[in-house]
Structure 1
Amino acid sequence: MIFNRLCCVFIPLKSDQVLFLAETHKGLNGNLKAVYDYLDNSRHDLHLVSYTKGDRRERHGIKAVLSIWKAISVSGYIFLDDLYTATSHMKVRRGQEIIQLWHGAGAYKKFGHSRKDLHVNVSGKMRVHKGYKKYTKAIVSGSRIAWCYSEAFGMDEGKIYATGSPRMDELFDNKYVKDTKERFLEQYPELKNKKIVLFAPTYRGTHVRDADYGFEQANLNQLIKRLGDDYVILTRWHPALKNNVKRGIAVVKCCDFGERIIDFTDYEDVNDLLIACDIMITDYSSIIFDYFPLDKPIIYFVYDKDDYAGDRGLYYSFDKYLFGRVSEDFESLVESVKAEDLCREKREDFYNLFLDGCDGHSTERVCRLLWNVKQ
């Protein structure tokens, strides 16, 4: 973009300016928020700037576009947690750091250069987001999965650091977990003395713009009836699915929201929901990694296991991701929720493969890659 190039020529790089960018969620959350808050508390000499929007399809006005491009052009440090469209077109300046925090821990669904089936055009060449190759650093939750991100981003593995996932730090803090659950139940007293089931699947579809889900397969209306009066279900849709539901592209079915099925998709902090729930139902979502430190039952509801693994592609065989029960049909799902099986024998291998960088101090390690920060 010409404006970017002009800024690079006429405006010096600001080594004290740190930019946080996201175009899949309004406001900072997850890894971006963890790093932002840490720097805000420990490095008062830095100027922190952020620009976010809830849907990549939203359009900014010209004034906002120019402001964002100026910030991209002059910020010494840029933090991302997903692909960001503008980075495809930006010029990376000498001394500028582009740090990819990635929104999910672990390495589950293939993405980026790893999805060769999706990105090869008619001439046989790869068509992948050009911003990937501009990252100067990327962080991962475990040392053994650095190769996955190296492949996905087309980066040298030496630029990928197993610092752990910043968003998970608070989940290793027992006092924080206890206080958060108490606060959540005070905020939602109707959930006290209930078995809280968090239903948080990923979307189905080749692209996020096609995001949908097999709502009839889960049939939450029938599930809550079968579970009984002691249970409530909280739903949390993937951002891509949420946006398509709002646009009318996807339609939620077999799920009547009310006192016993409550939608928490717009609730700000997903970690609160992980802490508050007693059981989680998910599938191929990276939320499994965030949930792991809480040591609670998880159910993988994978009604399309064989098709999904073949179509989308996983970095490892499906069994490597399991530290809970697997259900492939509705009856098995009901049984698994009631069983509350912790499957403890699978937990050590899961942690060693995906999360050996996570211990509650990941945010500090990320920041120490770039600055001297106070402990």
Structure 2
Amino acid sequence: MPQIAPVTFAAGNAKKLMALPAYGLGALASIVVPRRRDLWVFGSGPGIGEGALALYRLVRRENPSLRLLWLARDERDLVTAESLGIPAVLKSSRRGFFATLRARVIVVTHGFGDANRYGLRGGFVVQLWHGIPLKRINLDSPATLRTRLLPDSTVVRRMLRLMYRTAARSIDIMPAASEVSATRLRTAFDLPAHRVVVTGDPRDDVLVAGGETERNVAARALLFTQLAIEDSGCRVVLYAPTWRDGEVDPGVPSAGEWRAIIALLEASESLLVLRPHPHGVGDYAVGVALSERVVLLDSTRCTDVTPVLPAVDALITDYSSIAYDFSLLGRPIVFLAPDVDAYTASRGLYVAYDTFSGGMQKSTWGELLELLGGADTDETVRAALVDHAAALAAGHHAFRDGGNTARVYRQITTRLKEHE
């Protein structure tokens, strides 16, 4: 099986530099091609999901006169869109380019490449982003400006910084979960305060809307359908590490660690769901082969993990913003960070890792399993984990009423009038 090159900042930036002529041609086309007032396009880096899908569904309900179109990554996305009744075109196709070029509103969740990046100029761009940043992003992180093209050139790095800053000016509105998140997003994208607005994150509405029992039942049904296994009623533990810019996840367990993990899973009648980052590097096949209590939920099975979080009883993560999302559920979060010093030096964090983890992070699976097992037998340990999750939620989510998507839509409609 051919090896797929890992996704890295360096490779992505080299492609951006090589594509400068195409950006120029797209900008020229935007001068002569008028935008349609009734056309909105949506895209999301991992596929159909995230806040873009939540916003799509609300806009379709609130204003059925608009023409809404999804910009698909590939044929698989087109099939998914059809099953959901969502009109879609390939974003990289001629139709995808002209749809982006003619759209009045362009909604993305990761980067401009969620749409057709060459047709953005002049559109009203809504950048929903994909979580509350812990690790430094965009202009705030030195990692963002790495490139394979003359990697040691100061001129090239300055050019990249200018490109990122210029591109960010295309963002007309960037919703944020809280003022803490908004502050980070403003510096990361060099945006004026009024463009980053605290509305709550649309993708988190599914975690708080409706009744808890209803959410849990729906999430378990979705999770076990995606896993293609029967729900035995067991406890669900999710392991979701972050992306490491092409480096292998140091949290991949050794053979001995897998045996210890499986022993704890059997003793506690639990299921460990592995959720590698879509661009992550690491082989978890040993654990899956050793026990039916270890299952893989990768991005080919599950594009957007947020809707299944209410099915999860405990989360294991490292630097991922999934911790902020999961904190809304008030359940234990345990942190596995064997490379905290190296990661912090390479990527940078907005707050000290001890603050993020509550000082309870572990560097090995052995230590983490002891903590996770202790939470089952010692109410004091469990209470400490739950209290820290509650503190994360209180400090990073301004709203918990299920109305984030509606607030974003109201902001868009208001600002469209100002934009015109």
Q: Which range, TM-score by smaller chain?
A: 0.7 to 0.9
The range that moved more, 349-358 or 153-162, is 349-358
1:48, distance to aligned residue in structure 2 (A): 0.6
The residue aligned with 1:51 is: 71
1:189, distance to aligned residue in structure 2 (A): 6.7
Residue 356 of structure 1 pairs with residue 394 of structure 2: no
Structure 1 SS opposite 2:199: coil
Structure whose residues are more often helix by fraction = 2
The range that moved more, 40-49 or 127-136, is 127-136
Structure 1 residues 173, 358: CA separation in 2 closer, same or farther (over 3 Å shift)? closer
**Gap regions ≥5 residues in structure 1:** 56-60, 245-249
The residue aligned with 1:102 is: 129
Task: Give the TM-score normalised by the residue count of structure 2.
Answer: 0.75
Give, in whole Å, the separation in 2 of the partners of 1:363 and 1:102.
13
Give, in whole Å, the separation in 2 of the partners of 1:41 and 1:7.
32
Give, in whole Å, the separation in 2 of the partners of 1:13 and 1:156.
25
Residue 371 of structure 1 pairs with residue 413 of structure 2: yes
The residue aligned with 2:249 is: 213
Give, in whole Å, the separation in 1 of the partners of 2:90 and 2:70.
17
Give, in whole Å, the separation in 1 of the partners of 2:49 and 2:383.
29
Structure 1 residues 153, 54: CA separation in 2 closer, same or farther (over 3 Å shift)? farther
Once superposed, what is the RMSD of the aligned Cα atoms?
2.9
Residue 136 of structure 1 pairs with residue 172 of structure 2: yes
Give, in whole Å, the separation in 2 of the partners of 1:74 and 1:6.
13
- The 5-angstrom pairing of residues 1-375 of structure 1 reads 1=22, 4-5=26-27, 7-22=29-44, 24-26=45-47, 28-53=48-73, 64-85=92-113, 89-90=118-119, 92-93=121-122, 96-104=123-131, 106-116=132-142, 118-119=144-145, 122-123=153-154, 125-126=157-158, 127-128=160-161, 129=164, 131-175=167-211, 176-181=214-219, 183-184=221-222, 187=225, 190-204=230-244, 207=245, 210-214=246-250, 215-216=252-253, 219-229=257-267, 230-241=269-280, 250-252=282-284, 254-257=286-289, 258-265=291-298, 266-322=301-357, 325-340=360-375, 341-343=382-384, 344-347=386-389, 349-371=391-413
The range that moved more, 308-317 or 113-122, is 113-122
Structure 1 residues 87, 140: CA separation in 2 closer, same or farther (over 3 Å shift)? farther
Give, in whole Å, the separation in 1 of the partners of 2:91 and 2:324.
39
Structure 1 residues 185, 167: CA separation in 2 closer, same or farther (over 3 Å shift)? closer
Give, in whole Å, the separation in 1 of the partners of 2:342 and 2:139.
21
1:141, distance to aligned residue in structure 2 (A): 0.7
Conservation of the 8 A alpha-carbon contact between 1:18 and 1:46: yes
1:317, distance to aligned residue in structure 2 (A): 1.3
Identity %: 22
The range that moved more, 163-172 or 328-337, is 328-337
Conservation of the 8 A alpha-carbon contact between 1:141 and 1:356: yes
Count of aligned pairs between the two proteins: 351
Structure 1 SS opposite 2:328: helix
Deviation per residue, 1:223-262 (Å, 9 max, x gap): 1124425122111111112xx5xxxxx5446423451111
Conservation of the 8 A alpha-carbon contact between 1:211 and 1:240: no
The residue aligned with 1:247 is: none
1:222, distance to aligned residue in structure 2 (A): 3.3
Task: Give the TM-score normalised by the residue count of structure 1.
Answer: 0.83
Structure 1 residues 370, 91: CA separation in 2 closer, same or farther (over 3 Å shift)? closer
Give, in whole Å, the separation in 2 of the partners of 1:63 and 1:83.
13
**Gap regions ≥5 residues in structure 2:** 1-21, 76-88, 147-151, 376-381, 415-420
1:89, distance to aligned residue in structure 2 (A): 4.5
Give, in whole Å, the separation in 1 of the partners of 2:223 and 2:412.
39
Structure 2 SS opposite 1:32: helix
Give, in whole Å, the separation in 2 of the partners of 1:301 and 1:367.
37
Conservation of the 8 A alpha-carbon contact between 1:217 and 1:329: no
The range that moved more, 135-144 or 123-132, is 123-132
The residue aligned with 1:58 is: none
Conservation of the 8 A alpha-carbon contact between 1:296 and 1:342: no
Deviation per residue, 1:176-216 (Å, 9 max, x gap): 41331453487567442322111111132xx3xx2421213
Conservation of the 8 A alpha-carbon contact between 2:241 and 2:320: yes
The range that moved more, 72-81 or 349-358, is 349-358
